[in-house]
Amino acid sequence: MSIKDSLTKKLETQTDYWNKRVESLRADANERIAKAKDDRAESKIRQDVSDQVDRLEQQIDEARTKMTELRDASNDKLDDLKKRIDSWLSH
């Protein structure tokens, strides 16, 4: 498997994980909202989940940008790109 293929697969796998996490957060929020005792508690749940989902969606967008960058990268740029992607994913 080439470096491009390997990195693309890694980014796709991570993106899939984040998408599933978003779905899980939303489902959990709906459950918690149904049990909320008042509007303030419901609002707090919505805000907390919204913040988490926003962060995940930013990461998903960044991963897509990196996949485009990877697809367009020449072979001499791959090592540097691999280091940056690996470093980004490890955070």
pLDDT tens-digit map of 21-78 = 999 999 999 999 999 889 999 999 999 999 999 999 999 999 999 999 999 988 888 8
The predicted model scores a pTM of 0.86
Q: How many domains does the chain have?
A: 1
Please report the sign of the dihedral spanned by the C-alpha atoms of residue 20, residue 21, residue 23, residue 28.
positive
Largest CA-CA distance found in the chain, in angstroms, rounded: 58
Half-sphere exposure of 65 (CA within 13 A, CB side): 8
Q: Which range of residues forms the domain containing residue 9?
A: 3-89
